[in-house]
């Protein structure tokens, strides 16, 4: 597909996401850039994979947090590997498709695990120690969330199979769950955590109650979005290694 046509289609889809309240304005711009790259390299099958992740993740996120909009950082963190894969496909089709699909599988697995895992009847446990933690704690996992991660990755693999995309179904669930586990490990060990001086709540954001929060553990640059970058990259790397065999 030509870059101009790709840009028009991607911009139209992103605009729809903004109008629907799923994306901020900055996120719509990032989604347009990623969508253009995917469409140019992978065509409509690539767009279908990207759309499956975007639509399912947006619906689940809105169910968990009414009115939530994805930010530019969130879109970039979850979609960068797909964009890179789209750029690589014209030069190395097998590798490019692996990076694109593996990255999206990891992003979808992590999103489904987070959004569906929060409804578990059992408290999450920290992936590094097994200690029970409050719902929403980075690195906390549940059986429901882990099953949801696998279901998300398998769903994306089935879409790829149905569209006869130039990628293998076999490694996509492995890449998806593997990327999700890397995300959880980093979230439990290195991700920065803050405390709000106004209400005393443990949070992941730099501001809470309209007040700057205080970092209490982790690396200051290792935010939730940074963790997602690494998790998505891990899924892309696992898929690329599998494709190279």
pLDDT 10s per residue in the chain (245 long)?
788 888 899 999 899 989 988 899 999 999 999 999 999 999 989 999 999 998 898 888 765 454 568 899 999 999 999 999 999 999 999 899 999 999 999 999 999 998 898 888 888 898 888 898 888 788 889 999 999 999 999 999 899 888 877 666 788 899 999 999 999 999 999 999 888 888 877 777 788 888 888 888 889 899 999 999 999 999 999 999 988 87
Q: What is the DSSP letter of 23?
A: B
Q: What integer pLDDT is reported at residue 170 of this predicted model? A: 80
Q: What integer pLDDT is reported at residue 154 of this predicted model? A: 93
Angle between helical axes of 143-162 and 25-64 (0-180°, round to 10): 120
204, containing H or E segment: none
Report the distance separating Cα 28 and Cα 45, nearest Å. 21
CA triple 180-55-225, angle to 5 deg: 40
- pLDDT, tens digit (0-9, with 9 covering 90-100), for 143-169: 999 999 999 999 998 998 888 776 667
Q: Which residues contact 25 (CB under 8 A, 6 or more apart)?
A: 18
Looking at the whole model, is its pTM more than 0.95? no
Q: What's the number of CA atoms in the CB half-sphere (13 Å) around residue 163?
A: 20
Q: What integer pLDDT is reported at residue 197 of this predicted model? A: 86
Q: What integer pLDDT is reported at residue 62 of this predicted model? A: 61
Q: Domain residue spans in the chain? A: 3-244
Tokens representing 108 are 């979808």
């Amino acid at each position: 597909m030509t870059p101009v046509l790709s840009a028009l289609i991607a911009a139209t889809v992103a605009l729809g996401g903004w109008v629907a309240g799923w994306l901020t304005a900055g996120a719509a711009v990032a989604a347009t850039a990623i969508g253009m790259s995917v469409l140019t390299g992978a065509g409509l099958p690539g767009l279908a994979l990207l759309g499956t992740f975007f639509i399912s993740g947006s619906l689940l996120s809105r169910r968990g947090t009414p009115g939530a909009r994805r930010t530019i950082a969130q879109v970039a963190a979850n979609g960068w590997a797909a964009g890179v894969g789209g750029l690589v496909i014209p030069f190395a089709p097998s590798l490019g498709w692996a990076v694109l699909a593996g990255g999206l599988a990891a992003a979808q697995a992590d999103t489904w695990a987070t959004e569906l895992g929060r409804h578990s009847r059992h408290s999450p446990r920290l992936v590094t120690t097994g200690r029970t933690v409050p719902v929403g704690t980075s690195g906390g996992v549940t059986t429901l969330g882990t099953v949801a991660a696998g279901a998300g990755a398998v769903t994306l693999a089935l879409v790829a199979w149905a569209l006869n995309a130039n990628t293998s179904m076999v490694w996509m669930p492995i890449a998806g769950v593997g990327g999700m586990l890397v995300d959880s490990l980093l979230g439990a060990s290195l991700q920065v955590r803050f405390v709000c001086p106004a209400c005393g709540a443990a949070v992941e954001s730099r501001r809470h109650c309209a007040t700057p929060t205080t970092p209490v553990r982790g690396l200051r640059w290792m935010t939730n979005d940074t963790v997602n970058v690494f998790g998505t990259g891990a899924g892309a790397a696992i898929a690329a290694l599998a494709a190279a065999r």
